[in-house]
Structure formats: C-alpha cells, structure tokens
DNA sequence: ACTAGACCCTGACGTTACGTGAGGGTCAAG
DNA sequence: CTTGACCCTCACGTAACGTCAGGGTCTAGT
C-alpha cells in the first residue's frame, strides 16, 4: 500500500492540489487507486516525481517534462546527468548575478551610471530552452522519431536485452581497439562508431552524424558517462568521442 | 529623450508586453510620455527596473516588489545587499540540489531505494517568503508603520539631511566610545544604541528591540554594511551590534 | 505630399500552474 | 453510531505575462 496524497505532500515538495493536477494532466499518476478513488503512490512514482521536480526547478514546462519523460528511450540516469549539468549552469549564472549586484553597488558608490546593456545582460542568461533543444535531440521530436517511439513501444523484454547486449558489445569492441593501439580515426574505430550510430538510428530515432557528435561530446563531458566508458578501459570515453568525430568527418 | 519600450526590451531582460504590464500595475512607469503616448524610460527608470528584476529573479511577487520599493525608507544599497545575500543562499541551494542528483545517481547504481524525505527535502529549500518577512521588518508593513510612511512622505530635503546627520553623529559617537575602550555593554554604549533605535522608531517605523537586534546582526553580516561602519573605525560594526544586543538585554 | 515599414498605443482573450473553496464520500478510533 | 482527519471531483480565481486585433506615429524614400 503506497502513500496518500497527503503523505506525499507532507514531504514538503508539492501540495495535494499539485498532485491532483499532475494526475489530471497525465504527468504523474499514482500506480494504485482504492475502490473509493484514493490515490496511492509507490516508490517508482516518487522517483518519477523527483525527476519531474528537478526538471521543473530548471524551468521546463510541465508539458515538456511529460513529453521528455514519456519517451521510450528516456533514461533516468541520462536525465539526471543532464539535470546536473543544467543545475551547474544555473549556479554559474547566479554567480554572475552576484557579480552584477556588486557592479551595481560599485556604480552607486562612485555616482556613475551603468551601461544599459551591462545592467541587464545577466537576466535571462539561463535559458531552459537551450536544454530543451538538447533533450529533444536526445529524445527526439520529429514525426519520424515519433514513429520510432511507436516501434520501440513494441519491444519485448528480450528486445531490450538485445539492445543492451549490442551496446555492451560495441563498448567492449571499442575498448579492444583502443587496447590494440588503433587510432580513433582508424577504419576499425570509425566502423565501430558507425555501428554505434546505426544502432541508435535503427532502434530508436534518426541519429544524424551531427547528433552523434553531440552525444560523443556528452560522453566525455558528463563525469558519470565518462566513468561508464572509462570503467571498460581508462580513457575510453575520449576515444569513443574521437572515433565518433572521425566517423562524422569521414561521412562528410 | 529616453528609451522606447522596444529599446528597453532589446536589452534582453523583459518584453514590451512586460513593460506595459509593469506600467499598468504601477510597478515601473516611464518618467516621460510623448504627446502620442509613447513611453520613454530614463536612467533612473532602468535602475529601478534592474532592482525589480533582481527581486523577481529571487521569487518575489510583483505586488510585493512594488510594496517594498514604494516604501519611503527603501534604500537601494540596502536592497542590493539583501538581494546579494538571497542570491548566495539560492546558489547554496543549487549546490544542495546537485548533491541530491548525485545521491539519486548513487542510489540507482546500487539498486537502492532512497528514503522518501531525503528525496524531496531539497525542493522548496529556498523560500523567498523568509526574505519577504525580513524585507517587511526592514521596511515594515503594519498600520502603525504605514502611518510613519505617511509621516516620512512629508519630510523635506532638510528633514532628510537632519536624519542623515543624526545617523552620522551616532556612528561617530559609537566610534568614539569604542576608541575610549568602553565595553559594548557599558551604559554609554547602550545609551547610544537606544538613541539609534529611537531615531528609527520616531523617524520611520516602530523598531522593537527585537527588530533592532536583527538590524545589528545585518550590520555585521553584510560586508558592505560592515565596511560602512568599519570605515569609521575598524571593528565598529561588531561593536554596534554588540551594543544593540546589550541594550536589548537591558530592556528585558 | 504620399507611401511603406518599423514601431508605438490600448484593449482583450488565452496560457500555465496551480490556490482556494464547495459539496460530499471514506476511514479509523472512540 | 459519531467524530475528526483525510480523501474525492468540480470549478472559479490568481499571477504574470504571451499573443493578437485594430489603429496611430514616425521616419526615410520616392
């Protein structure tokens, strides 16, 4: 038996009304309902709520959050990493704002008038839209993509296991190529990158070379991704990223 | 001739519609209007807009911002210092959120379920309401206070000069007492603190001992305030704060 | 002087994400 | 059975604008 709306609200992050609202819009529905209509939220529901709240904190609209999280390829770990990056960016912006306050104080004390642009450039600096774009690229939004969503919805447990195994096989092959000293722009490494791209392209969504390069960059930039690959072999994340870049360059 | 709504909007922080809205609600009205009705914003208008945007960024509602900034004792420097403090607090909360993301990632990798409370305690941690309360105490909201607002509105330039001279005289007297080695809880120091409190009480708003202590704490905590007093004499901010505390204690 | 384009104005409906309250049912303890 | 705490759905209201309609103003070019 899960938690009632009151119990979830008592955790301090959302109100009962908010939970009703999220249920009504399909963003977060309880996994159980009593015959009397009571909502009961389980552990997975709370995990989903936390994810929603991170996105909300970062300025995403609820519809957009729902769209992102409803995606079949939505991966909680990847989302957390994206969110982490956004939070860091936002914290950086706050630092800039503190600097801006200090600049304003300085100008006051000197009896100076600040330049118009300098006064306001710090506002709006953090723009979730940029990240929405990235999330969209990562989890897609085109009609062709939506088609692949439908396709992925039909995947069985075995299908998903196959996906996972394929991904692991490619990762191991990358580690092997690297271990044999093959340059990231060697034919073999680039073929692996191409295979990697095609897996995504066939299994999930259209993955252009450009998008692939973006993913490669993310693998290096996000510490947890980097660790994922580097656990196969130290430096592998960078190697994969380089191979992806070389592959994209090969494709023109 | 000032800037049009389009020119202000082009600075990137607000839209034309927002400027219309702020004018409509009396939050920020242009200092000039053409015979055709065009709005023209001057330097002071832009400074006010910046202040509005800092408060907005920090989560204050527009009505609340208007109320604070319409106060006769509203002081731009003090506001900037408050805003700075709030921004730092908010940045701290973001740090906690980043930690929370890391905790969630850890839990995922270990296949563990996080404690409910731990999952959500970071949300809502930054609460502008606390600071609104402080702003309200600083710039008041009671009926008696409103009365003193009306009173202050009638102050002439000479009155304000007198206020400023009185404040400076007390600051110098504090510095003198400290220089003569009088403890902060000596009768003379406490009398100065009382005089300071009464100045505020008579001139602006009811200033209880409790509120006075809060102000004293602020004088030490905010670097610019601290510097204001310490420029009279090193360590004076702390001395004034201690004298205020001792005075409050004396009053029971 | 006329025209076109950029920008201004006021007015008003719509959007987003809930807050608040009405009216009534459910559950558990006394 | 009663009471109090909590649940439900429904629906109007709020805050802060976004968007659009309809029309005026200003400036440069013709």
Over chain A (252 residues), the average pLDDT of each successive run of 10 is 88 91 92 90 90 89 85 72 83 87 83 82 72 58 46 58 73 85 87 85 66 70 62 80 85 74
Residue A177, min C-alpha distance to chain B (Å): 27
What CA–CA distance (Å, rounded) separates B58 from B76? 16
For residue B8, what is the nearest residue in chain A, using CA coordinates?
A: A116
pLDDT of residue B135: 61
Residue B37 CB lies within 7 Å of the nucleic strand C: yes
End-to-end Cα separation, chain A, in angstroms? 57
Q: Å from A103 (CA) to D28 (C1')?
A: 40
What CA–CA distance (Å, rounded) separates B212 from B196? 9
Extract the runs of DSSP E, i.e. beta strands, from chain A: 32-33, 39-40
Nearest to B181 by CA among B233, B112, B227, B121: B233
Residue A9 CB lies within 7 Å of the nucleic strand C: no
pLDDT of residue A77: 75
What CA–CA distance (Å, rounded) separates A102 from A80? 33
Choice between A128 and B43, residue whose per-residue pLDDT is larger: B43
pLDDT of residue A143: 42
pLDDT of residue A234: 77
Question: What is the ipTM for the molecules in this complex?
Answer: 0.61
- Chain B segment 209-238 residues within 8 A of A by beta carbon are 224
Cα distances (angstroms) measured from residue A100 to each of A93, A114, B54, B214, B219: 10, 11, 10, 26, 21
**Considering chain B, what is the average pLDDT of its residues?**
79
pLDDT of residue B154: 59
Q: Taking 50 as the threshold, does the pLDDT of residue B79 lie above it?
A: yes
Q: Å from B223 (CA) to D27 (C1')?
A: 51
What average pLDDT does the segment B214-220 reach?
Answer: 68
What CA–CA distance (Å, rounded) separates B10 from B237? 42
Looking at domain B142-251, does it have CATH number 1.10.490.50? yes
Contacts of B53 in chain A (CB under 8 A): 120, 123
CB pairs under 8 A between A and B: 105
Per the CB < 8 A criterion, the answer to whether B230 and B224 are in contact is no
- Nearest nt by C1' to B38 Cα: C8
* Backbone phi and psi for residue A250, each to the nearest 5 degrees, phi listed first: -60, -35
What CA–CA distance (Å, rounded) separates B67 from B185? 37
Q: Taking 60 as the threshold, does the pLDDT of residue B229 lie above it?
A: yes
* Most confident listed range (B36-45, B82-91, B98-107): B36-45
pLDDT of residue B16: 92
- Can you tell me whether residue B205 is helix, strand or coil? coil
- Nearest nt by C1' to B27 Cα: D16
Residues 6 or more apart whose Cβ sits within 8 Å of residue A226: A219, A220, A237
Residue A62 CB lies within 7 Å of the nucleic strand C: yes
- Chain A segment 78-117 residues within 8 A of B by beta carbon are 80-81, 83-84, 87-88, 90-91, 94-95, 97-98, 101-102, 104-105, 108, 113-114, 116-117
What CA–CA distance (Å, rounded) separates A166 from B117? 38
pLDDT of residue B172: 85
pLDDT of residue A40: 93
pLDDT of residue B17: 93
Range with lowest mean pLDDT among A181-185, B44-48, B158-162, B220-224: B220-224
CATH class of B5-57: mainly alpha
What CA–CA distance (Å, rounded) separates A128 from A64? 11
Bases of chain D below 7 A from a protein C-beta are 6-11, 15-20, 24-26
For residue A123, what is the nearest residue in chain B, using CA coordinates?
A: B13
Per the CB < 8 A criterion, the answer to whether A20 and A14 are in contact is no
What CA–CA distance (Å, rounded) separates A81 from A220? 12
Among A11, A87, A124, select the one facing B13 at the smallest CB separation. Answer: A124
* Most confident listed range (A214-223, B159-168, B217-226): B159-168
For residue B78, what is the nearest residue in chain A, using CA coordinates?
A: A105
């Amino acid at each position: 038996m899960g938690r009632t709306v009151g119990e979830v609200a008592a955790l301090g992050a959302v109100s009962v009304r908010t939970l009703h609202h999220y249920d009504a819009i399909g963003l977060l529905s309880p996994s159980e309902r009593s015959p009397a209509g009571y909502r009961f939220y389980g552990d997975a529901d709370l995990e989903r709520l936390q994810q929603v709240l991170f996105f909300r904190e970062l300025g995403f609209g609820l519809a957009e959050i729902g769209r992102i999280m409803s995606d079949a390829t939505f991966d909680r770990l990847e989302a957390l990493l994206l969110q982490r990056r956004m939070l860091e960016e936002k914290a950086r912006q706050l630092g800039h704002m503190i600097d801006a306050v200090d600049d304003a104080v300085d100008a006051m004390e000197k009896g100076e008038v600040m330049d118009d642009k300098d006064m306001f450039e710090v506002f709006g600096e953090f723009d979730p839209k940029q990240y929405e774009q990235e999330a969209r690229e990562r989890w897609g939004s085109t009609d062709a993509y939506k088609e692949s969503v439908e396709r992925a919805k039909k995947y069985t447990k075995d299908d998903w296991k196959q996906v996972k195994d394929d991904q692991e096989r490619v990762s191991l092959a990358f580690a092997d190529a690297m271990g044999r000293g093959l340059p990231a722009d060697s034919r073999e490494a680039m073929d692996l990158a191409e295979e990697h791209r095609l897996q995504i392209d066939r299994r999930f969504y259209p993955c252009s070379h450009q998008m692939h390069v973006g993913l490669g960059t993310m693998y290096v930039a996000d510490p947890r991704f980097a660790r994922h690959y580097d656990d196969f072999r130290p430096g592998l994340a960078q190697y994969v990223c380089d191979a992806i870049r070389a592959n994209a360059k090969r494709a023109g």
